[in-house]
Amino acid sequence: LLPLGAVGALLAVAGGIWLSRRRLSLRSELATAVRRREFRMHYQPIIELDTGICVGAEALVRWTRADGTQVRPDLFIPVAEETGLIEPLTDHVMDLVLGDMRELLIHDRSAHIAINLSAGDVSSGRALKVLTGKLIGTGIHPQQIWLEATERGILDIQAARTSLAAARRAGHCVAIDDFGVGYSSLQYLQQLPLDALKIDKSFIDSIGTHSATSPVTSHIIDMARTLGLFTVAEGIETSAQLAYLQSRQVEFGQGWLFSRPLPAAEFIAYHEHRRSQ
């Protein structure tokens, strides 16, 4: 009989192999999916909190496998980032967004759609050049495409700064995503040329049910204001959270309280209905 410690070690090794094989198969499956363009976008309405008007949406990628099962983006986006598949995937996302939303954006010049960029997209500056090219001839104004850049994985801050500055010169509005989740946040915030700060859902979750508020969330809102950034709160699920954010004059928000991410046609109907009230 093996001693217990050895059994544990064997199990750990077997588990590790199982995990890395699973990851390997996800990798190759993802490569095929990117080649075959097996993705669609969902659009989560973004609401102006003091009026309730829908001002646009965040585009969120969806992958449905051939067998009909869905893979969550927080599972496959990191794999795409590690394997260089993020470049073609981001290009595909841009094509889908411009295709789905062209009519709406031409029809309503005040509407915008936010596209998520990975750190690699930001640092290389390539995604922005690709986007500028794709926008030509569509009739969509660059002002109508917002960019959400995560701080996760940004290694070369100088490169990120150059590329985000170019994005703003081109007319895009640039938001820092998942702010506060990473670790050298404040330093990034001060160095990056930004328009907006997205407050991560984890901070919204910490807003209490009564008037009890999260000091960290409050601090993030203050910080954004000091830096002249407007704020977008994500993951609003309760009216207590909404009331608090309104009382702190947070400009925009999204979350299940308003709507889940929707397929393009459903979002267009939602937007039409809540464009003005």
* From the list Ca ion, ligand C2E, none, partner contacted by residue 261 (C-beta under 5 to 8 A by kind): ligand C2E
Min separation Cβ 24 and ligand C2E, Å:
21
Q: Give the nearer residue to ligand C2E in terms of CB position, either 18 or 256.
A: 256
Site for ligand C2E in 197-226 (CB under 6 A): 201
* From the list Ca ion, ligand C2E, none, partner contacted by residue 61 (C-beta under 5 to 8 A by kind): ligand C2E
* From the list Ca ion, ligand C2E, none, partner contacted by residue 74 (C-beta under 5 to 8 A by kind): ligand C2E
- Residue 231, interface with ligand C2E (CB under 6 A)? no
* From the list ligand C2E, Ca ion, none, partner contacted by residue 255 (C-beta under 5 to 8 A by kind): ligand C2E
Among 100, 151, 177, 251, binds ligand C2E (CB under 6 A): 177
Q: Give the nearer residue to ligand C2E in terms of CB position, either 104 or 179.
A: 179
CA distance to 18, 125, 136, per residue, from 129 (Å) = 40, 7, 11
Which tokens sit at 190?
A: 């001060």
Q: Give the nearer residue to ligand C2E in terms of CB position, either 10 or 243.
A: 243
* From the list Ca ion, ligand C2E, none, partner contacted by residue 60 (C-beta under 5 to 8 A by kind): ligand C2E
Site for ligand C2E in 56-75 (CB under 6 A): 60-61, 72-74
Q: State how far the Cα of 107 lies from the Cα of 111, in Å rounded to an integer.
A: 9
Please return the burial class of 202, using the count of CB atoms within 10 Å of its CB with bins 0-12, 13-18 and 19+. Answer: middle
DSSP lists the bridge partners of residue 70 as: 64
**How many other C-beta atoms are found inside a 10 Å radius of the C-beta of residue 70?**
10
Which tokens sit at 213?
A: 């508020």
Q: State how far the Cα of 181 lies from the Cα of 199, in Å rounded to an integer.
A: 9
Q: How far is CA 197 from the centre of its chain?
A: 12
Min separation Cβ 71 and Ca ion, Å:
18
- Residue 101, interface with ligand C2E (CB under 6 A)? no
- 198 contacts 220 by C-beta, under 8 angstroms: no
Min separation Cβ 77 and ligand C2E, Å:
5
Q: Where along the sequence are the contacts to Ca ion (CB under 5 A)?
A: 116, 148, 177-178, 198, 200, 234
Helix (H) or strand (E) holding 137, with range, is none
Q: Where are the extended beta strands (E) located within the chain?
A: 39-48, 54-64, 70-71, 112-117, 145-150, 173-179, 196-199, 230-233, 252-253, 262-263
Number of residues in contact with ligand C2E under rule CB under 6 A = 22
Among 79, 261, 267, 271, binds ligand C2E (CB under 6 A): 261
DSSP per residue, 76-131? HHHHHHHHTTHHHHHHHHHHHHHHHHHHHHHH-TT-EEEEEE-HHHHHH-HHHHHH
Min separation Cβ 224 and ligand C2E, Å:
16
Q: Which residues bind ligand C2E (CB under 6 A)?
A: 44, 60-61, 72-74, 77, 93, 116-118, 177-178, 201, 234-237, 254-256, 261
